[in-house]
Chains A and B, each alone.
Chain A
Amino acid sequence: MSNDPSLKDKLAEDARELMALPGELHIDPLERKWIFVALGLIGVFVLAILYTAFAKHVHPPGEMETLDSARLHLGGEFAEDKLGVVTQPDGSVKVTLVAARYGFYPREIKIPAGQSITFRIASADVLHGIHVPMTNMSTMVVPGYASTVTTTFPKPGEYPMLCNEYCGMGHDHMWSKLTVVSQENWRSGLTNTQSTGR
């Protein structure tokens, strides 16, 4: 065994010192209490987040899913004829959008209030962000990746759907119109026409 401790020995010694550290420090009793208060405060936030995440499924969007932004128009999920609002046979609503300078296409869409809506969005060019003010519809749209976000809109009304990531000189003008209709208007609309608004 050489005279210098090996890296592993040194780390083990450091780890032991780490365990012994609290006992070696000068900590004022009030400050020690404060550290527990601070940890408790942090704990309140983390617990609320964990609880709503696991019990109520409150999460930010995101799972990696690649796509070729340069070829969206050639076919597949984001081809032009597939864009817009589609009611699935089970009643759930899916909205498929393309983000491109300078709008979200289709530029006017109608969806029902009070039920889960899934958005599938792809960029045809650069980085965009999509956000409906006063709601939790928010996600980044990254070229090369498909964005999926599921949310509910509690209040019927007309909302702008705004781009909130710099995407060029026209960024100020990049927006689309979202109309959220009440459940009863949506259902009567559905029985009147077989397909849904695009």
Chain B
Amino acid sequence: MNQQDKQPESGGFAPVGTWVLLCVVALALAAGWLFLYFGVFLPRGTIQ
């Protein structure tokens, strides 16, 4: 019913601030994890 509907919900309100904030958070999470995984964990030695 709403897949074609590109209008924002809630009478014209689009949560742009939330979107930007959470995209920044997502980038920070990705950067932090990649740093820990490839920069701290793997250099400590192989494991299996």
Contact = CB atoms under 8 A, between A and B. Distances in A.
Interface of A: 22-31, 33-34, 37-38, 41, 44-45, 48, 52, 56-61, 116, 134-138, 149-154
Interface residues on B, range: 20 to 34
Contacts of A52: 42
A44 to B, nearest CB: 6
Given A41-B30, A48-B34, A58-B42, A26 B47 contact: no
A190 to B, nearest CB: 21
A76 B40 CA distance: 38
Contacts of A151: 45-48
Contacts of B41: 136
Given A23-B1, A23-B3, A59 B8 contact: no
Q: Chain A's interface: helix, strand, loop or mixed, by majority?
A: mixed
Given A44-B33, A150-B46, 10 more contacts: A22-B3, A28-B8, A31-B15, A34-B23, A44-B30, A56-B46, A57-B48, A59-B48, A61-B48, A135-B45
A58 B48 contact: yes
Contact of B19 (A34, A45, A135, A153): A34
Interface in B1-48: 1-3, 6, 8-10, 14-16, 18-19, 22-23, 26, 29-30, 33-34, 37-38, 41-48
Interface of B: 1-3, 6, 8-10, 14-16, 18-19, 22-23, 26, 29-30, 33-34, 37-38, 41-48
A139 B30 CA distance: 27
Contact of A30 (B1, B8, B34, B43): B8
Contacts of A61: 47-48
A48 to B, nearest CB: 6
A153 to B, nearest CB: 6
B48 A30 contact: no
B22 A34 contact: yes
B1 to A, nearest CB: 6
Contacts of A33: 19
